[in-house]
Chain A
Amino acid sequence: GAGVSQSPRYKVAKRGQDVALRCDPISGHVSLFWYQQALGQGPEFLTYFQNEAQLDKSGLPSDRFFAERPEGSVSTLKIQRTQQEDSAVYLCASSLGASGSSDEQFFGPGTRLTVL
């Protein structure tokens, strides 16, 4: 497909479990973003990659959150020792240009994480 894909679409975890969320951006897109969308809220920025470099991780809520994009394409967001407050939809977006461009961000369908 030509769009951004994310897997899994739904994830249920027990509190304390580790989870890994995958994002496949549009091929050739330089920039990749992760956002967290809590129920009834707008998406909130988590982290930004330009190719394989993580240029901004100021939005990660705690050191339990870790993201990587080792080859500048697929990205993984990992959450260790999940807590109930981590329950949200995690959105991935990619854009063609580098930071500072006004290129459109294309969003994936999101992964809905529920922590019991």
Chain B
Amino acid sequence: AQSVTQLGSHVSVSEGALVLLRCNYSSSVPPYLFWYVQYPNQGLQLLLKYTTGATLVKGINGFEAEFKKSETSFHLTKPSAHMSDAAEYFCAVSDQAYSTLTFGKGTMLLVSP
């Protein structure tokens, strides 16, 4: 069975500061890894995904994530936070045989001026 652990239900940063949202996964097979963002009363939007190849993945809105197999991690980063980044972020995993996603519990990112 697959699982995802997101450390910290809430992360607070100042505008312009580094954003780091942590995600660790467990999977018995090579995984596909995803980060989604959810704004209030909206559906989830894909930020980025890792399938194969380069382990550093760049996504939309300046976010990137690095797949580290040895650490079973897929942490999300952004060099400089913007007020519009305030939202809930979900890490997810799927195996290569099926497409269903297993999500973490989410991390709410709060950005202060």
Binding site for B on A (CB under 8 A): 3-4, 31, 33, 35, 40-45, 48, 56, 59, 91, 93, 95, 97, 99-110
B101, A45: Cβ atoms under 8 Å? yes
- Chain B residues touching A, range: 20 to 34
Is the contact region of chain A dominated by helix, strand, or loop, or is it mixed? loop
What is the bound-complex CA distance between A100 and B46, given in angstroms?
18
Cross-chain contact A109 with B42 (CB below 8 angstroms) = yes
B90 engages A42 (CB within 8 Å): yes
Within 8 A of A (CB), among B21-64: 32, 36, 41-46, 49, 51
CA distance in complex: A31, B100 (Å): 10
> In the complex, A109→B101 CA distance in Å?
17
Q: What are the residues of chain A within 8 A of B98 when measuring CB–CB?
A: 48, 56, 99-100
The distance in angstroms between the C-alpha atoms of A11 and B92, with both chains bound, is 27
The 3 A-B pairs at the shortest CB distance, nearest first, are namely: A42-B103, A107-B43, A107-B44
Given contacts A33-B99, A33-B101, A109-B43, 8 further A-B contacts (CB under 8 A): A3-B43, A40-B105, A43-B90, A44-B103, A48-B99, A106-B43, A107-B43, A109-B41
